């Protein structure tokens, strides 16, 4: 047999050594023995011993004893891990690989007959991987530092685990960073003194039960799955979207450099079930280390669940409750991955935003990462914001139905097949992926020691601020789409149709504001400056997606009908963060104009109260920065403080000089939803269940809409009602408090009156 040259292994044994070789076939044994012979020819004076280990499954007790006996021979001898690496046939398609797998064969682990054929015809695909060796003394020290050092057999097991991990690292040099994956989490954690002591502190908990939880979370690992999932994601989104994802190359370059230094947590915005697949494709496209996705265990269905697990997805329970052992195991699992420098990822919002705007961050998993940092598991951890956005989505119809009270469709293989089919229904435009600058945990929280010394309240506040910074960077990196702007302009008319020329003319003020804010825009949004660009954008969203084109008259007109308002609102809400502070400024101005006394003080008081009302629906900067932003909104029209102090005339002139009025467009649906829930709570006694309040709010909202008491059908939404319940809970209104409920109703009613005044800015009625 011809000699095989391993291009990554230059190591030569120069002292007595024990070679631990994972061998799965006679062909592999022959190749390893050939390697041993080459080593002995180079250094005939050394003692070189070989112990063969099973490729799959744990070693037997007798094999552990054999390794233990050899380890006792000398403390200075090296332990050298080796195994065969079989490269995939690059000419084979993923469909062929899938067929091979479904037939019971692993395309990445060829059969012995196939191995022999490869060695004869394409020997470059057969390589011996040599991991970095370590002396018995070094391994013994690590064993005693990290585990409850026991019998020689336990030490042998530890050495074998370390050897396997070293081989994994060596293989990454062949495969690339995208294949990096934890392989021995369960045995490593169960053998850890820290882990064992933590389990013992939980009443009634056992290591056996903890091991079962680890099995539930375990990812497994398969090169085929790691390759297949990005391929699957690309296959799915290409059915309806542009073939290639839209990146900012500078973002990718900076992120790649940062990942080379510290472990990272990629926190992405979540508006579609495509998001995780898109992120997998993005990481593969840019040759970045794979991030292990934390997902709900409800997604671990059918044949897809095992494939996703083996690609690095960690499925966790959605409802942990008071299960202290599960929480502890999950926390230690996260800490282990951080310590071993594996990248992690999940949605910063905790779930999909079915309303379009980013939801406030969930801190659960992130708090575990912070705990890992406080324990000095890493010198720093990067929080990498990820913006994933779409020109259009087929899921908006589902979101609209859910908002109207429909049940959420259960996940399963049938659901997944329908999801794939839906991607091919029409063309949805582009997918945009942005990676803004990472947030350093060390920069925001201080050193691990400083974090450990911090008071719990201060620590939680710092965590919240850090999470909000990530969310803010995601928002500011998300490009504004033509679809979102078209929907915003048409929703502002609440059912009134416009011609192409009218839409183009109205669009210019909106584009001027976006340009002044220096907000990123898509190529299609850039083209809205031209009539032809507006026409192209309207064509892409017409046919009820979500705009309706009306033909047969003097000229075509476009309108968003009431039954499509929820879908259109989804797109409009994706850019609400750009106009949020402007809209609040408008509302506070109108409020100040109808206030007596110190009008500037009334303005600032109302802007603060509006911020507090909206805090469960939107991201806000800190108080001082927020005030600066509000000032900036008014600065471009002149001396706003003088204008507001002048009363009615000053405020009307100010409003007329600000361009498009945005508050009714972006905020009316939220405040109308809040008012409906406030009415339901005001008419309720005691502490009604949230489910009952939302159900009643749906009925009352439909009544109000029919009566004209609210203007927008999108306000009748279980999603917005859920946020209104959070406001009520924050104010202690869910357990009674009639006076507080009445105050909330009065406050929201006042805001709605101000929105009515803003609807016709040229005839603002100023009440003193």
Distance of alpha carbon 306 from the chain centroid: 21
Query: pTM score, two decimals?
Result: 0.88
User: What's residue 618's pLDDT?
Assistant: 93
- What dihedral do alpha carbons 188, 190, 196, 199 form, nearest 10°? 120
Distances (CA, A) of 464 to 119, 621, 643: 57, 11, 37
Q: For the residues of 291-306, what is the DSSP string, one character each?
A: EEEEEEGGG--TTHHH
Token look-up 């915003």 returns 488
Query: Cα(748)–Cα(608) distance, rounded to whole angstroms?
Result: 14
The total number of residues shown for the chain amounts to: 768
User: DSSP state, 46?
Assistant: S
| CA distances for 554 relative to 250, 499, 543, 550, 557, angstroms | 49, 10, 19, 11, 9
Nearest CA-CA partner of 366 in 280, 455, 439: 439
Is 547 in a helix, a strand, or coil?
Answer: coil
* pLDDT above 80: residue 207: yes
Give Cα separations from 121 to 92, 117, 126, 129, 422 (angstroms). 16, 6, 11, 20, 44
Helix 718-730 and helix 663-682: axis angle, to 10°? 70
Distances (CA, A) of 364 to 291, 346, 502: 18, 11, 48
Residue 100, pLDDT > 80, answer no
- Distance (Å, rounded) from C-alpha 318 to C-alpha 369? 18
- For residue 433, count other CB atoms closer than 10 A to its CB: 24
How confident is the model over 262-298, as pLDDT tens digits? 999 999 999 999 999 999 999 999 988 889 999 988 8
- Please report which confidence band the pLDDT of residue 729 belongs to, taking 50, 70 and 90 as the band edges: very high
Lowest mean pLDDT: which of 172-176, 192-196, 374-378, 734-738? Answer: 172-176
CB-based contact 396:367 (threshold 8 Å)? no
pLDDT exceeds cutoff 70 at 106: no
Q: pLDDT tens, 362-372?
A: 898 999 999 99
Q: Which domains can be identified in the chain, with CATH numbers?
A: 17-175 (no CATH), 214-477 (3.40.1130.10), 482-573 (1.10.10), 577-768 (no CATH)
Read off the pLDDT of residues 339-350 as tens digits, 9 standing for 90 and up.
988 999 999 987
pLDDT for the residue numbered 5: 43
């Amino acid at each position: 047999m011809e000699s095989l040259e391993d291009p990554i292994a230059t190591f030569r044994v120069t002292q007595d050594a024990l070679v631990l070789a994972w061998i799965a076939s006679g062909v592999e044994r022959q190749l390893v023995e050939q390697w041993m012979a080459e080593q002995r020819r180079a250094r005939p004076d050394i003692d070189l011993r070989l112990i063969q280990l099973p490729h799959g499954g744990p070693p037997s007790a007798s094999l552990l004893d054999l390794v233990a006996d050899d380890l006792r021979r000398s403390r200075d001898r090296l332990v050298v891990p080796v195994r065969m690496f079989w490269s995939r046939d690059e000419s084979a398609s993923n469909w062929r690989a899938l067929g091979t797998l479904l037939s019971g064969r692993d395309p990445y682990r060829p059969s012995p007959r196939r191995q022999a054929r490869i060695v004869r015809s394409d020997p470059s695909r057969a390589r011996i991987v040599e991991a970095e060796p370590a002396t018995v003394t070094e391994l013994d020290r690590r064993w005693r530092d990290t585990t409850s050092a026991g019998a020689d057999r336990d030490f042998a097991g530890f050495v074998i685990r370390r050897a396997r991990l070293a081989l994994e690292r060596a293989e990454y040099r062949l495969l690339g960073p995208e294949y990096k994956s934890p392989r021995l989490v369960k045995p490593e954690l169960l053998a850890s003194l820290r882990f064992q002591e933590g389990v013992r502190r939980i009443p009634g908990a056992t290591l056996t039960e903890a091991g079962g939880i680890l099995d539930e979370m375990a990812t497994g690992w398969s090169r085929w799955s790691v390759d297949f999932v990005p391929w699957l994601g690309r296959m799915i989104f290409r059915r309806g979207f542009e073939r290639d994802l839209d990146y900012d190359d500078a973002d990718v370059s900076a992120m790649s450099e940062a990942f080379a230094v510290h472990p990272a947590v990629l926190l992405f915005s979540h508006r579609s079930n495509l998001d995780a697949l898109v992120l997998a494709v993005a990481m593969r496209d840019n040759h970045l280390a794979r991030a292990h996705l934390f997902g709900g265990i409800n997604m671990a269905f059918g044949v897809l669940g095992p494939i996703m697990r083996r690609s690095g997805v960690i499925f966790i329970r959605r409802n942990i409750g008071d299960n202290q052992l599960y929480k502890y195991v999950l926390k230690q699992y996260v800490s282990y991955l951080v310590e071993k420098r594996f990248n992690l990822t999940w949605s910063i919002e905790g779930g999909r935003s079915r309303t379009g705007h980013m939801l406030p961050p969930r801190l659960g998993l992130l708090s575990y990462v912070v705990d890992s940092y406080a324990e000095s598991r890493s010198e720093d951890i990067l929080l990498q914001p990820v913006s994933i956005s779409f020109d259009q989505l087929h899921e908006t119809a589902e979101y609209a139905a859910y908002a109207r009270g429909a049940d959420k469709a259960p996940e399963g293989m049938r659901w997944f097949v329908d999801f794939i089919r839906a991607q091919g229904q029409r063309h949805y435009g582009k997918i945009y992926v942005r990676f803004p600058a990472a947030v350093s945990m060390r920069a925001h929280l201080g050193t691990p020691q400083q974090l450990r010394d911090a008071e719990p309240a201060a620590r939680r506040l710092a965590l919240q601020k850090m999470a909000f910074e990530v969310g803010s960077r995601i928002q500011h990196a998300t490009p504004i789409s033509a679809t979102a702007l078209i929907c915003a302009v048409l929703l502002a008319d609440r059912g009134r149709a416009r011609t192409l020329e009218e839409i183009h003319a109205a669009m210019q003020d909106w584009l001027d504001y976006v340009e002044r804010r220096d907000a990123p825009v898509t190529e299609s949004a850039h083209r809205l400056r031209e009539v032809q660009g507006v026409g192209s954008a309207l064509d892409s969203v017409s046919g009820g997606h979500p705009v309706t084109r009306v033909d047969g008259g003097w000229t075509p007109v476009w309108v968003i009908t009431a039954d499509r308002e929820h879908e259109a609102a989804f797109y409009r809400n994706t850019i609400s963060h750009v106009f949020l502070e402007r809209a609040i400024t408008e509302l506070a101005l109108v409020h100040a104009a109808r206030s007596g006394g110190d009008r500037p003080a009334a303005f600032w008081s109302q802007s603060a109260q509006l911020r507090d009302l909206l805090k469960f629906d939107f991201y806000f900067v800190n108080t001082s920065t927020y005030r600066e932003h509000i000032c900036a909104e008014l600065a471009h029209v002149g001396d706003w403080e003088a204008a507001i102090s002048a009363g009615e005339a000053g405020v009307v002139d100010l409003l007329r000089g600000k361009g498009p009025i945005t508050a009714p467009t972006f905020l009316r649906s939220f405040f109308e939803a809040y008012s409906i829930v406030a009415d339901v709570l005001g008419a309720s006694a005691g502490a009604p269940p949230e489910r009952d309040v939302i159900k009643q709010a749906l009925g009352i909202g439909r009544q109000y809409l029919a009566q004209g008491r609210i203007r927008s059908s999108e306000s009748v939404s279980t999603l917005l009602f859920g946020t209104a319940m959070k406001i009520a809970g924050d104010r202690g209104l869910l357990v009674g408090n009639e006076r507080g409920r009445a105050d909330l109703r009065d406050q929201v009613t006042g805001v709605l009156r101000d929105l009515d005044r803003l609807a016709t800015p040229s005839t603002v009625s100023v009440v003193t």
